[in-house]
Amino acid sequence: MDAVESEILSWSETDKDRAEKYKLKWQKFLRRIWALGPGQVGPNILFTSDLKSKSNDLSVLVRGSPHVSERLGLVDNYSDGDTPADTSSEETQALDMEAESLQNSVVSGFQLATAAGPLCDEQMWGVAFVVDVYISPLAEQSDESDINQQSEQYGIFTGQVMTAVKDACRAAVIQNKPRLVEAMYFCELNTPTEYLGSMYAVLNRKRARVLKEEMQEGSPLFTVHAYVPVSESFGFADELRRWTSGAASALLVLSHWEALPEDPFFVPKTEEEIEEFGDGSSVLPNTARKLINAVRQRKGLPVEEKVVQHATKQRTLARKV
């Protein structure tokens, strides 16, 4: 809270009303934080639902008592006249255990989803999940058989919740057009003037982004600064020496992580896109899709690709009798 308050005040030292507005807004977000992930700490956040935006028709998770829902922060303090006021300590302890088990299952599912994303089973970055609760209220009166059946299901309910939360998080990421994040090297190259064109040809093949170039004073060497993807850096030094006859040298330092702008699941839908790319069969796989397929093949994950490109040609092979 103190860090957020000091940061907001440093942004707008003159406009106090605006700073107070942002302070209250961020305090609401901080109160709704359920967990961070993966591994209890990380760049992903799990939020509880915003109770103020919901209707007054509250639903509960456990038949006859909203105690579990209150413990999880999914409903406000709920008071129902039909609910008995005097609950035994054993019932309260059982509800506390159920609330803790359910909370651990939801958090564990969130941790599993953020540790292995849907694109290529890698860690997610900068993703926020909001848990919205839509539960049909159960009947207040229930016979003993229903209660026993419900209590027997709690043994497998933990795994069911964990799997459901993990699949829901992965499906939500897919629906919101995810982007692949790749590591980038900061590359400093030194080359003579006559090999400058060959060096740029190598950089273009490696998807490098040139930042600046300048000539060193008192020498015929050019210094070029560029960003090179780590996935393209394998064999970069050998190819650079081969094309420049050993005259160019490169220094690579890990710089940052950068998101690829291409959509890995792009399919032409609008008239302009169909006119430009065709009906989808002629669209070449973009860079993000190529990287995802390469990682999935290396990990043994399923990849959507055609095993047989031209089946008719394989049936016309000559058979020697």
Closest residue by Cα to residue 195 from 148, 147, 240: 240
Q: How far apart are CA 202 and CA 129, in angstroms?
A: 41
Report phi then psi at 47, rounded to 5: -105, 145
Which segment of 29-43, 148-162, 262-276 scores lowest on mean pLDDT?
148-162
Q: What's the predicted TM-score (pTM) here? A: 0.72
Q: How far apart are CA 91 and CA 64, in angstroms?
A: 12
Q: Is the pLDDT of residue 146 over 90?
A: no
Residue with tokens 């970069």: 236
Q: How far apart are CA 229 and CA 200, in angstroms?
A: 15
Which segment of 44-48, 106-110, 258-262, 271-275 scores lowest on mean pLDDT?
271-275
pLDDT digits (tens, 9 = 90+) for 164-218: 899 999 999 999 889 999 999 999 999 998 999 999 999 999 999 999 999 888 8
Q: Is the pLDDT of residue 81 over 60?
A: no
The larger pLDDT score, comparing residue 4 to residue 197, is at 197
Predicted local confidence at residue 169, as pLDDT? 93
Q: How far apart are CA 158 and CA 145, in angstroms?
A: 21
The first and second tokens of residue 26, run together, are 């961020």
pLDDT digits (tens, 9 = 90+) for 259-288: 998 888 887 778 887 777 766 555 666 888
- Within 13 Å, how many C-alpha atoms sit on residue 153's CB side? 11
Predicted local confidence at residue 256, as pLDDT? 93
Question: Which domains can be identified in the chain, with CATH numbers?
Answer: 32-76+91-134+156-176 (no CATH), 181-259 (3.30.70.240)
SS3 state at 117: coil
